[in-house]
Amino acid sequence: MTACGTPYFMPPEVILGRPYDNKADVWALGVILYELVTFKKPFDDESIPQLFEKITKHPHEPFP
């Protein structure tokens, strides 16, 4: 039930304050792979609250 790390890699359940498991690590790996393939973050914004809203409510852009 801890929350630490870079906000760009936080899974929705951590942002929403829910319990999390190993799926959070898979989420972070997916974010890393997306960034390696597209050279940009799947979710990005100017402020942390807006970033969290994008992660929890908006799908990422599809791969080109």
- The model carries a pTM of 0.82
Say what the pLDDT of residue 62 is.
Answer: 78
DSSP string of the chain?
----S-GGG--HHHHTT----THHHHHHHHHHHHHHHHSS-SS--SSHHHHHHHHHHSPPPPP-
The pLDDT value recorded for residue 5 is: 73
pLDDT 10s per residue in the chain (64 long)? 566 678 999 999 999 989 999 999 999 999 999 999 999 999 999 999 999 999 999 887 777 7
pLDDT of residue 2: 61
Q: Mean pLDDT of all residues in the chain?
A: 89
